[in-house]
Amino acid sequence: MLLRSRRRRRLLLASSAFAAGTLLPRIPAAEQRIVMNDASRLSPTPVFTHWVAKPEPEDQFIANLRRELKAAASRSRPVVVGAARHSMGGQSLPRNGTAITFDINRCEPDRASRTFRVHAGTRWYQVIDALDRIGQSPAVMQSNSDFGVAATFSVNAHGWPVRYGPFGSTVRALRIMLADGTILPCSRTENAELFSLAMGGYGLLGIVVDLEVDMVPNMLLRPRFERMDATAFAARFVGAVRSDPSVKMMYGRMNVTRADVFTEALLVTYRVEPVPAEGLPPVTRRGALTDVSRNVYRAQIGSETLKRARWMAESMAVPKAGSGIATRNSLIDEPVSNLENRHVQRTDILHEYFLPPERFGEFLRACQDIIPKARAEFLNVTLRYVARDDLSVLSFATTDRIAAVMSFSQDMTPEGEADMLQTTEALIERVAAIGGSYYLPYRLHARSDQFERIYPSAAHFAARKRHYDPGLLFRNALWDNYLA
Ligand SMILES: Cc1cc2nc3c(=O)[nH]c(=O)nc-3n(C[C@H](O)[C@H](O)[C@H](O)COP(=O)(O)OP(=O)(O)OC[C@H]3O[C@@H](n4cnc5c(N)ncnc54)[C@H](O)[C@@H]3O)c2cc1C
């Protein structure tokens, strides 16, 4: 009896010491592998090395980049360049390979050609800073300004100024380094095949070194808000793009409560205001899409009442509150941190679907069938217009589309992950059935057959990647999961 209680006491002591972490092996820092992650926090990936390129003379930068590629190739290690690593499924991470980040800000506008030449690693807030000083603005970029410019090309992102296609449509030319260190200029007329493959090619063709991109005049814009039944939204949205040239930027929102998800919609259109005598105000890095404060946004998790309150605020109170006048640059210079998740056991996961406008009603019904049953908390949807893209090989908009960007809060448990996988798979199935597509930078939850159905040129893309990169130096999780 005494023996048994002593053993029990020892076991208890041992387990409490374990719980406190004192029995965990302590690996000396020098022996620890580098583990990198992306914005999902669900992609921990061991890497062999992480090279952060700092500003240096151009020939030195190129020589160092070639040195990294050669070293990785000699050991058959994959190479991946990432920028903000806000993709969510390991697209920006090389397993046991060489991760590269360009911490370099260089943006040179040229008024005569209405373009800016920009280093691949430059972030959008740095571009906006440079262009704002001369009254210009990037033609297309994402809704947040933390991302890298070459990364934007590599996912072929889109934004909410109208009437544009994805970012690639505004890139005039770029230089790309292939696996053997050769640098090739690419555009619609020079190495055009490589240009189309690399646009939305997730870094699998080579490393973009710099780009020449369209800019447009900065302007002052005033929002107009229209609340409507969700079934009326698509026609109204497309009508505003096609027949109202005064609309320069535009987005939509819908209600997200489980009981009546996607029954109401809000259309926000921005039109040009006269420039005041003192000129345009300088850009403020605040953004416009976060009228609802971060705290209210976050409080929606687990509270249908607060989801409803937020919708009332956004669709009724905000429109009444003030003019909302802002410059184009201030509207697009929105930091991701505005809606940042600080909960250690939850993570924000994005989905995005591109719908033919005439099938939008069926998309609403698919979401009403699937989303309320999900364990994940559905926090937000933003609707945008994306014009047809015939240029990129992995195009997600083979016709004009309504883009639905959806944000979920997922708990970081096996159950949370399984639920997200099933929800995504079910949504993709319904979207595919109505001729829509899904966006590739998020979680890799689509089945292979879904990926191949929605991206029918994937096999051709993979074959041409093998032509340009025969040693398969550029590999990431997107390649490993669907293309290898
Ligand atoms: C909060 C949030 C908001 C978003 N809003 C939008 C939006 O409005 N519109 C939209 O379209 N998307 C949007 N996205 C998706 C976003 O555009 C992608 O996740 C994009 O990848 C983010 O840029 P990044 O700098 O984080 O890229 P990373 O994740 O670092 O990289 C993305 C891809 O580009 C490749 N790459 C990076 N640099 C190079 C280079 N120099 N050469 C070759 N390949 C390279 C990487 O290898 C990787 O495959 C959003 C994402 C988040 C998290």
Each residue's pLDDT tens digit, 251-273:
999 999 999 999 999 999 999 99
Protein residue closest via CA to atom 6 of ligand 1:
142
Find the residues whose C-beta lies inside 6 A of ligand 1.
39, 80-87, 91-92, 120, 142-144, 147-148, 150-151, 154-155, 157-159, 202-203, 207-208, 336, 350, 441, 476
Number of H helices, E strands in the chain: 15, 19
For residue 12, the model assigns a pLDDT of 43
For residue 287, the model assigns a pLDDT of 56
- Which residues, 6 or more positions from 395, have their beta carbon under 8 angstroms from its beta carbon? 156, 200, 389, 457
The per-residue DSSP string of 52-116 comes to EEPS--HHHHHHHHHHHHHHHHHTT--EEEESS---SSSTT--TTSEEEEE----EEEETTTTEE
Query: DSSP alpha helices (H): ranges in 291-413?
Result: 294-299, 304-312, 318-321, 328-332, 360-370
Q: If you average pLDDT over residues 261-286, what whole number do you get?
A: 95
pLDDT, tens digit (0-9, with 9 covering 90-100), for 37-48? 999 999 999 999
**Hey, what CATH topology would domain 109-217 get?**
3.30.465
Residue 305 Cα to ligand 1 midpoint, Å, equals: 33
For residue 248, the model assigns a pLDDT of 98
Q: Look at residue 13 and tell me whether its pLDDT is greater than 60.
A: no
d(CA 51, CA 60): 14
Tell me which residue of 305, 231, 221 sits closest to 269, measured CA to CA.
221
What does DSSP assign to residue 144?
Answer: S
Residue 232 Cα to ligand 1 midpoint, Å, equals: 32
Q: What is the 3-state secondary structure (H, E, C) of 178-232?
A: CCCCCEEEEECCCCHHHHHHHCCCCCCCCEEEEEEEEEEECCEEEEEEEEEEHHH
Q: What is the CATH number of domain 220-444?
A: 3.40.462.10
The per-residue DSSP string of 260-284 comes to TTTSEEEEEEEEEEPPPTT-PPPP-
Residue 24 Cα to ligand 1 midpoint, Å, equals: 36
Which atom belonging to ligand 1 lies closest to the Cα atom of 121? 41
Q: Look at residue 357 and tell me whether its pLDDT is greater than 90.
A: yes
Q: Look at residue 431 and tell me whether its pLDDT is greater than 60.
A: yes
Residue 297 pLDDT class (50, 70, 90 cuts): confident
The partner residues of 302 in beta bridges, in order of sequence, read: none
Q: Sheet of 98-102: strands edge to edge?
A: 49-53, 98-102, 79-82
User: Which of 88, 106, 155, when mutated, tests ligand 1's pocket best, judged by the most ligand atoms within 8 Å of its CB?
Assistant: 155
Start and end residues for every CATH 3.40.462.10 domain found in the chain: 220-444
d(CA 150, CA 130): 17
d(CA 464, CA 443): 25
Which atom belonging to ligand 1 lies closest to the Cα atom of 153? 34
Residue 321 pLDDT class (50, 70, 90 cuts): confident
- Tell me if 215 sits within 8 A of 135, measured CB to CB: no
For residue 23, the model assigns a pLDDT of 58
CB atoms within 10 A of CB 111: 11
Percent of the chain at pLDDT > 70 equals: 93
Question: Which range has the worst mean pLDDT, 24-38, 182-196, 218-232?
Answer: 24-38
Secondary structure class of 353 (helix, strand, coil): strand
Residue 293 pLDDT class (50, 70, 90 cuts): low
- What's the residue count for the chain? 484
Which atom belonging to ligand 1 lies closest to the Cα atom of 160? 8
Tell me which residue of 419, 481, 426, 467 sits closest to 191, measured CA to CA.
467
pLDDT, tens digit (0-9, with 9 covering 90-100), for 67-123? 999 999 999 999 999 999 999 999 999 999 999 999 999 999 999 999 999 999 999
For residue 24, the model assigns a pLDDT of 61
Q: If you average pLDDT over residues 295-301, what whole number do you get?
A: 86
- Which residues, 6 or more positions from 452, have their beta carbon under 8 angstroms from its beta carbon? 458, 459, 482
Q: If you average pLDDT over residues 179-184, what whole number do you get?
A: 98
Q: If you average pLDDT over residues 386-399, what whole number do you get?
A: 98
Residue 142 Cα to ligand 1 midpoint, Å, equals: 9
pLDDT, tens digit (0-9, with 9 covering 90-100), for 194-206? 999 999 999 999 9
Which atom belonging to ligand 1 lies closest to the Cα atom of 83? 30
Residue 317 Cα to ligand 1 midpoint, Å, equals: 33
Which atom belonging to ligand 1 lies closest to the Cα atom of 88? 19
Residue type, 332: I
pLDDT, tens digit (0-9, with 9 covering 90-100), for 133-172? 999 999 999 999 999 999 999 999 999 999 999 999 999 9
Residue 155 Cα to ligand 1 midpoint, Å, equals: 6
Residue 82 Cα to ligand 1 midpoint, Å, equals: 8
Residue 12 Cα to ligand 1 midpoint, Å, equals: 48
For residue 32, the model assigns a pLDDT of 81
Two tokens, residue 429: 């199935």
Average pLDDT in the chain? 93
Residue 288 pLDDT class (50, 70, 90 cuts): low
